[in-house]
Chain A
């Protein structure tokens, strides 16, 4: 399991890092502020990103420091601001485009999948698109079917895009800084239900490479691969399982692409059982890809089929009693793990 100090980049600091508790929102804001200070080609564009600081208040304070020339309120034109971002990225800028809800990916998909993702390849490697699209995922906010989806599978499918899904404040800050410095388009998904989640974040500069999974909790009996919002769910399930005498290992891939297959496979080889938990729709979702990676890579070590848990294959309903059924919970993950371990 990595600790904040374990992945500190070499910036000349010596001695123990100064670690504070930050919320996920604060960690993201800090990452953006640091990169805005570091690189004058970084700018943020989106709806209500300046004085309003977004409806989630993630960006509060940035416009005061960096001004409206770099923290830019846009019209409600998701495709347009993404397209501007692609063009600006191709010509020397490092845009961070704010797409308030992941459900709006439909509005920007041509600019992401047909433009941003393909420019480098189609140009034979001459043009680059160092673009970050920040957006959100996650249900149970009582926001109904068009503001609650987790659609990272859509972009994970497209060669040319990178996809990050941080699950802690520490990961969010380190991954976002890397994403901004990356020369490729990166879609960065934040769980809007986790913005107030607190966690340790060092004051010292650090980055986290894309494509390196993190073992959030070590265990020996079963591997639970979980993404973004589901990592906390898996950790609670692991606590439940521990009380039952089952030792669960929780592995967070942190990025869908690049994907750290080795860590997933090694964990499943060690434990001989694996569940993949993700908040996207289960049907044709990222759980299928992750489960296939484990099934192919750890086949001879497995004592049970790899199981998947995603969101129910229904549009996210509004009524709380209906909505709460649609996503994996610590209870459902615990039950599935027990079954897989022959303890049901």
Chain B
């Protein structure tokens, strides 16, 4: 197990610069949007209004939000099967996300992708990917193209601890390091490869794998959005400045199961463990406490943000439920460009 670094020290006065106050309030807002979105997705599943399954990001919001807060709109990300949080944090709109999850025409992919394949080129999202580790090549290729074209866009490749078992990741990390590509590999270690604890599948220390390629490596508490932001800020800046790739390990936890249908989980993790993370390690509670302690936002301010997000989610899901399905004739459109 790698060392989890403590949060970066932050100023203790109540006079945090306005920019910083707004930044962390904005991150709270974004994390709440993701949390409420995912709760709504779970509800859609339980009430049989959503086709298929979904892999919920609840509990891991600080990673996507902390990292994406350091990115420009034209920077690239690739995401995973557990990707709703990445897409929203990079700028996707809630209503079109819901529409895609329901297979509706106004969805980001006109209903052709679904939960695991949301892509949105307008926000630099090159797509969630349902092959574990499958987007490592795409993210690295986007970074390669950026460098080759003399642009300063960076690419962030989000993946989970399960992807550490995939060979493609090591092939492209090798090339990223050789050619100093502006790509940041963000490993979200939520402890479980599906239903198996990562220590049963993954030898050695996780960060050593990136270090072996000479890749700049950092590790943070993935529940502390300020820590994630501070670490990502540094890694993104150095990648943008031409100093090459980085690997960021974020220790985190998924509050729900592997997917929405994974209800009985005690055979692979205890209720006590889940309870500990939900009550002691919830990134929303942790940031809320800090915002209160710093005098940036009181409970009523945070409640107001939650109400706003709730209203947005409710409007979004209504939009999606009311939206039309794609025309049947679209089934063989977009096979070829």
Which residues does A use to contact B, with CB under 8 Å? Answer: 41, 43, 69, 74-75, 77, 79-93, 95, 110-111, 114-115, 119-130, 159-160, 162, 183-184
Q: Which of B136-163 contact A (CB under 8 A)?
A: 136-146, 148-149, 155
Enumerate chain A residues within 8 angstroms of B141, measured Cβ to Cβ. Answer: 83-91, 95
Establish whether residues B171 and A87, one from each chain, have CB atoms under 8 Å apart when the complex forms.
Answer: no
| A159 CB, nearest partner CB in chain B, Å | 5
Q: Does B182 contact A (CB under 8 A)?
A: no
Which chain A residue shows the least CB distance to B100? A124
B85 within 8 A of A: no
* B112 adjacent to A93 (CB under 8 Å): no
Do B117 and A122 have beta carbons less than 8 Å apart? yes
With a cutoff of 8 Å between Cβ atoms, the chain B residues found around residue A43 in the complex are 148
Of B102-110, B189-197, B251-259, the segment with at least 4 beta carbons within 8 Å of chain A is B102-110
* Given A90-B126, A127-B126, also A84-B140 (CB < 8 A): yes
Which of B127, B137, B334 is within 8 Å of A83, CB to CB? Answer: B137
Alpha-carbon separation in the docked complex, A160 to B337 (Å): 9
B333:A125 contact, CB within 8 angstroms: yes
Inter-chain pairs besides A87-B144, A90-B138, A124-B109, 17 sampled, C-beta below 8 Å: A41-B149, A74-B175, A80-B172, A82-B137, A85-B141, A87-B137, A95-B141, A110-B131, A119-B119, A120-B336, A121-B335, A122-B112, A123-B113, A123-B119, A125-B333, A126-B120, A127-B121
B167 on the interface (CB 8 Å rule)?
yes
Are B136 and A83 interface neighbours, CB within 8 A? yes
Q: Max chain A CB contacts within 10 Å: which of B76, B108, B109, B141?
A: B141
User: How close is A36's CB to chain B, nearest CB, in angstroms?
Assistant: 13
| Chain B hits for A115, CB < 8 A | 129, 131, 134-135, 137-138
Complex Cα gap A184–B337 (Å): 6
Asked if B7 is at the interface (CB within 8 A of a chain A CB), the reply is no
B135 neighbours in A (Cβ, 8 Å): 115
Partner of A80, one of B108, B117, B171: B171
Task: List the B side residues contacting A183 at CB < 8 Å.
Answer: 337
- With contacts A84-B144, A91-B76 taken as known, whether A79 is within 8 angstroms of B334 at the C-beta atoms is no
Bound Cα distance from A87 to B144, whole angstroms: 8
> With an 8 A cutoff between CB atoms, is B40 at the interface?
no
Is A121 a contact of B137 with CB atoms below 8 Å? no
In the complex formed, the residue of B with least CB distance to A114 is B131
Specify which of B108, B129, B144, B178 is in contact with A88 (CB 8 Å cutoff). Answer: B144
Residues from chain B with a CB closer than 8 A to the CB of A69 are: 148
State the 6 A-B residue pairs at the shortest beta-carbon distance, nearest first: A83-B137, A87-B141, A80-B171, A124-B110, A87-B138, A124-B109
Query: B311-337, CB under 8 A of A: which get 1 and which 0?
Result: 000000000000000000000011111
CB distance from B52 to the nearest CB of A (A): 14
B335 contact from A79, A120, A129, Cβ within 8 A: A120
Question: Taking A84-B172, A91-B76 as contacts, is the C-beta distance between A79 and B109 under 8 angstroms?
Answer: no
Asked if residues B172 and A124 are in contact (CB atoms below 8 Å), the reply is: no
B174 interface hit (Cβ, 8 Å): yes
Q: How far is the CB of B175 from chain A (nearest CB, A)?
A: 6
Q: B115 → chain A, closest Cβ, in Å?
A: 12
Check if A87 sits within 8 Å of B126, measured CB to CB: yes
Q: How far is the CA of A115 from the CA of B78 in the complex (A)?
A: 12
Q: For A126, what are the chain B residues with a Cβ–Cβ distance below 8 Å? A: 109, 119-121
- Give 21 A-B contacts (CB < 8 Å), ordered by A residue: A69-B148, A75-B178, A79-B171, A83-B137, A83-B140, A83-B172, A88-B141, A88-B144, A90-B138, A93-B144, A95-B141, A120-B335, A120-B336, A121-B112, A123-B108, A124-B110, A124-B113, A126-B119, A126-B121, A127-B121, A160-B335
CA distance A83 to B170 in the complex (A): 12
Q: Select which of B109, B136, B168, B335 is within 8 A of A159 by beta carbon.
A: B335
